[in-house]
């Protein structure tokens, strides 16, 4: 039971990370148009940029995100079903039935970055 809860917490943290990366870009663009001062905070901008760089580098190097690896390890210890590949590709396939080679995700991440 502990491993399942821990895996779910890691999954939740991973989802928050993805939302941070994706929606922060929209917030920055909208914040510029609406003169929101918080989107100009250097720590926020630097953290967002570093997150994008990490995701892009992992994608080009063909690395699985450490959060995905941790979640799958915890799920395996809990006796749950685990998935192969990256967090994003798994959920894209699950939610949208989208199947693409890993280079497509690398290109999308790079374009976004």
Nearest Cα neighbor of 86 from 96, 74, 97, 101 is 101
Tell me what pLDDT residue 65 has.
87
Confidence band of 99 (pLDDT split at 50, 70, 90)? low
Q: Specify the higher pLDDT residue, 83 or 95.
A: 83
Per-residue pLDDT tens over the stretch 14-68: 889 989 999 999 999 999 999 999 999 999 999 999 999 999 999 899 888 898 8
Half-sphere exposure of 10 (CA within 13 A, CB side): 18
Report which of 84, 91, 88 is spatially closest to residue 105, judged by C-alpha positions: 88
CA distance 61 to 59: 5
The band of 92, judged by pLDDT with boundaries at 50, 70 and 90, is low
């Amino acid at each position: 039971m502990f491993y399942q809860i821990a895996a779910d917490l890691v999954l939740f943290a991973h989802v928050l990370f993805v939302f941070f990366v994706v929606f922060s870009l929209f917030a920055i663009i909208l914040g510029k148009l609406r003169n929101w001062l918080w989107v100009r905070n250097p720590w926020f901008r630097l953290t967002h940029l570093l997150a994008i760089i990490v995701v892009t580098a992992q994608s080009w190097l063909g690395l699985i995100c450490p959060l995905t690896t941790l979640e799958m390890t915890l799920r395996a210890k809990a006796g749950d079903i685990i998935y192969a590949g990256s967090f994003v590709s798994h959920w894209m396939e699950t939610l949208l039935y989208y199947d693409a080679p890993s280079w497509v995700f690398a290109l999308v991440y790079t374009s976004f970055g």
